Structures are given as structure tokens and as C-alpha cells.
């Protein structure tokens, strides 16, 4: 496989921990995508998950569900999102990962979707409801053709056998969901969650791991940094972006304040 920005990021990080942020495209305004991405890049965010709004986001808590509903009302669509990303692709140096559900992607067409990802400067995709067998059989060959890394999720309920299978058949990073619940903020991780992190650490997986779901302050961020290559913040940033009327600089100021020691 050709290297892409995700592989380069993890390959060149040394001991530095990676911070990735998620936002739902079009939630504050359908024309805000470029502004949010370029501001995040300028402020030192390492990787960005660009959320594709969908009417029934099963893995997401109320904050991201509300953002998705607003984005759809604002007129955001996959076609529009790709055109916005295409306009800024030469300015974006960090990895962009599209995160969305299978239904809109199937509607768009898997081949067209992966091709549009490549043409728009996207490095990978996360599809929480894509069954692993379908990924191997149908999605992976097309994603590989267009240089896209397909990131799979694991949770405390995922068996060791499945985790090893995911690790063997994916490239980029493994997304460790911190709990079996939906997305949302937590003040701290309990001992059971920390034990899960330690168990995954002891498996010596080939792929680097990123921990997401529930990270919203210094305590949860540091726990993720201690147990993985980095952390993904979603709901907290989405809520701050809404609170700051779509101003990404202000939202990042507040986020950085929250995750400081």
C-alpha cells in the first residue's frame, strides 16, 4: 500500500501524542467546513475527523445527533461536502478522515465515494456500522484502489480474536472506543475502562491506537495519552463550536483551556 497522511503522521510522531478532533460538517453553517478545518490545522490539531451528517447516527450521543440534524437542515450533503474539501485540498497538510454511516455512502456509491475521497484530499474513512465481513469483501478492495485507510472501531466488548483480525486486515490506526455506550463527555474513566486500555496495550497490536468517546478534560485526555498513540475528541468540541456560534478559534481556546493540566 502507498503511504498516506495517516501513516506518515503516526510514522513520524516519535514519542509525541496525537490529538484528533471531530466536527460535524455543516452543523453551524453549511459553508463553515473550510474555516473549521483550516483553523484546526493552524492551531496544531494533528488529524481531523469530518462528520458526514446522517438522520440516524446510532453510535452517537445527543450532542452529535443534534449537530447532524442541524447540518441536514442547513442543506449539507455528501456531494457538497466533497466539493468544499476539494477547494481546500492543497492547503490541508494534516490527515482528514471522513466519519459517517453506511447508508449515505451506499447511496453515493462505494466506488464514487472512495474516488471522491481521494480527489478531495481525504486519507481515510470511519464507518461505524460497516460489518467487518462486508468491509473485507466489498469495501476494502475499493478503498485500497483509491489509497483510503478504513479505520475500524473496537470496544470493551470486542473479542480478542476480532481485535486481532481487525489489526491484521486494516492499516492506519485502530479506533478504541472507551466504553460500550454512545459518544459523550465523561469526567474520568473508571477502573474497568483503564483495565480495558491496559489489556489492549498488552496485545502488542501492529497498528497504532487512538482512544475516543468520553474525552473532554485533562484527566480523560491524559488517560488516553498514557494508553494509546493519541486521543480523539468529538462531542466536547462539537458542543463548544455550537456554544461559540461556529467560531473555531474561540471553540479551540475553550477546549485547550479544558484539557490543560
Residues forming the active site: 49, 60
CA 143-88-221 angle, 5° bins = 70
Query: What distance lies between CA 37 and its chain's CA centroid?
Result: 13
Q: What is the DSSP letter of 74?
A: T
User: Which DSSP symbol is given to 94?
Assistant: S
Q: Answer whether 50's CB lies under 8 Å from 33's CB.
A: yes
Give the residue carrying C-alpha cell 456500522: 129
In which element (H, E) is residue 230 found?
Answer: strand 230-233
Selection from 135, 189, 144, 141 nearest residue 153 by Cα: 135
The full DSSP string for 19-54 is EEEEEETTSS-TT-HHHHHHHHHHTT--EEEEE---
Amino acid at each position: 500500500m502507498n503511504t498516506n497522511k495517516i501513516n506518515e503522521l503516526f510514522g513520524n510522531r516519535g514519542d509525541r501524542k496525537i490529538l484528533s478532533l471531530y466536527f460535524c460538517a455543516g452543523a453551524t453553517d453549511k459553508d463553515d467546513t473550510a474555516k473549521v478545518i483550516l483553523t484546526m490545522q493552524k492551531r496544531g490539531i494533528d488529524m481531523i475527523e469530518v462528520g458526514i451528517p446522517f438522520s440516524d447516527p446510532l453510535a452517537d450521543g445527543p450532542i452529535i445527533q443534534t449537530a447532524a440534524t442541524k447540518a441536514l437542515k442547513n442543506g449539507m450533503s455528501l456531494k457538497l461536502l466533497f466539493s468544499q474539501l476539494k477547494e481546500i485540498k492543497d492547503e490541508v497538510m494534516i490527515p482528514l478522515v471522513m466519519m459517517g454511516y453506511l447508508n449515505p455512502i451506499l447511496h453515493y456509491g462505494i466506488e464514487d465515494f472512495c474516488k471522491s475521497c481521494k480527489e478531495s484530499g481525504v486519507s481515510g474513512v470511519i464507518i461505524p456500522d460497516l460489518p467487518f465481513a462486508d468491509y473485507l469483501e466489498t469495501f476494502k478492495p475499493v478503498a485500497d484502489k483509491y489509497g483510503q485507510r478504513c479505520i475500524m472501531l473496537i470496544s470493551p466488548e470486542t473479542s480478542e480474536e476480532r481485535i486481532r483480525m481487525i489489526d491484521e486486515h486494516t492499516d492506519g490506526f485502530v479506533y478504541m472506543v472507551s466504553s460500550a455506550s454512545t459518544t459523550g463527555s465523561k469526567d474520568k474513566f473508571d477502573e474497568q475502562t483503564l483495565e480495558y486500555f491496559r489489556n489492549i496495550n498488552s496485545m502488542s497490536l501492529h497498528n497504532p491506537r487512538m482512544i475516543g468517546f468520553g474525552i473532554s478534560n485533562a484527566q480523560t485526555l491524559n488517560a488516553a495519552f498514557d494508553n494509546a498513540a493519541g486521543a480523539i475528541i468529538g462531542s466536547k468540541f462539537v458542543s463548544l463550536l455550537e456554544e461559540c456560534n461556529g467560531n473555531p478559534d474561540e471553540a479551540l481556546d475553550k477546549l485547550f483551556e479544558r484539557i490543560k493540566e
